[in-house]
Structure 1
């Protein structure tokens, strides 16, 4: 009988020791399907892929949590986070003072500015906002580019679009004079041969620089600390630079 009790006790200890492996935390990550190369829908696998998916996946491996990517529109990310539909935002989202009032951000992951796209038939070398005075321009809803464009007071209209491809589609078709959007997203799309009648204005100088960060709820500081610790490690060992290079981005 003693032997049976001992075997049962050993079995209980073994199961307890193995429990953490089966109880690994699942973190729901909000990402967008239309911001290639940061986050986009891979139609072959029907999954969200890209820079920010690779980064949060590697962070999860290091920090000990499993990543479950939830696709959604950019404009709904923060609401989904604060309502606890997701636990983390990992997308092409700038860290801004207004957003920091609502959610917390990791240390910066990547820094870049806006790109200017115009129809290929428009060969003018635009340098800044002033060169487009009186024209209608476009930007994506919920991005950090919308307010500066409106506050400039130079444009006849700032049209708001749901996605960056929507902006590029109108520019490509000649329905929009110019569009402002994330430089890496636009550059990557054009490099892939999409929107052949649109071009990126190389003479234009970005004025709305920002840094992409990973978002968490303000009351989830433990998760944020884990993300920051792993992010620092992945920056130091070159993993982040390798991911950026994989998607055609230079280290910032």
Structure 2
């Protein structure tokens, strides 16, 4: 009788271990904030109603390499950091440049992509602009929450610096002559003008970016566990060439 009870107990214990195993090894799922207006980095695909883009592919590949899942959530650019700090999201994967001011509030992963700002003017504006200083005294615009707004305001040389919710809004006001010029993420501006040419606008060739920086994944200040996972995944997809393939794919889209 005692031996029979021992066998039953041993069987139950083994069953508990097997049942618990999937939970123990289940992958963590992180909620990732991405914008709907940052094509080709992040944008809303109207057919699937899902956020897609270079940085969506990059965070998905990073998660797979590091052993976690991601759930991408649409978030406006200006709400990304507030959503992160209030724990509505766990990671930011968007065209957000790493800056000293932001580093005081959040932590950045290793670099995923690097670029600077592009300058948009009307097509009939034949000015040769090579720097922000060439637009002294003019009304200019940039996307709210970006490092470009800070740089323009810091210059203190413009008649007015207007802020916009999206690059599309900036382009509209440049085309209508409401502002002299607009500043935006160079890859985003170039991609949009390539895919949807606007005869009223031009991306200024020869302009030298003043706010060059790195695009990284972003986590809450002090969240070392998530940051370490991200960096481990980034190292893997850089080493095996997957990140380079993702970048190439979206440059050719």
Q: TM-score, normalised by structure 1?
A: 0.93
Q: Per-residue CA shift, 1:81-140, capped at 9, x if unaligned?
A: 111111011100111111010111101111111000011121222112232122110011
Which of residues 174, 177, 180 is equivalent to 2:177?
Answer: 174
- Superposition misfits of 4+ residues, deviation over 3 angstroms: 1-10
Which residue of the partner structure matches residue 100 of structure 2?
A: 97
CA distance in 1, matches of 2:198, 2:170: 10
1:177-216 to 2 correspondence within 5 Å? 177-216=180-219
Alignment of 1:221 with 2:221, yes or no, is: no
Which residue of the partner structure matches residue 107 of structure 1?
A: 110
CA distance in 2, matches of 1:245, 1:133: 37
Give the superposed CA RMSD.
Answer: 1.6
Alignment of 1:162 with 2:165, yes or no, is: yes
Rg bigger for which structure? 2
CA distance in 2, matches of 1:195, 1:142: 25
Corresponding residue pairs, total: 248
Which residue of the partner structure matches residue 88 of structure 1?
A: 91
Query: Is the CA contact (8 Å cut-off) linking 1:172 and 1:196 kept in structure 2?
Result: no
Q: Per-residue CA shift, 1:118-173, capped at 9, x if unaligned?
A: 11121222112232122110011110111221122221111111111111121123
CA distance in 1, matches of 2:69, 2:133: 48
CA distance in 1, matches of 2:134, 2:224: 45
Which residue of the partner structure matches residue 50 of structure 2?
A: 47
* Structure 1 spans left out of the alignment, 5+ residues: none
Q: Per-residue CA shift, 1:178-216, capped at 9, x if unaligned?
A: 001100000000000254421100121111111111111
* Structure 2 spans left out of the alignment, 5+ residues: none
CA distance in 2, matches of 1:112, 1:244: 13
Which residue of the partner structure matches residue 150 of structure 1?
A: 153
**Which range moved further: 9-18 or 29-38?**
9-18
Query: Structure 1 residues 229 and 186 mapped into 2: Cα distance closer, same or farther (>3 Å)?
Result: same
**Helix, strand or coil: the match of 1:179?**
strand
Q: TM-score, normalised by structure 2?
A: 0.93
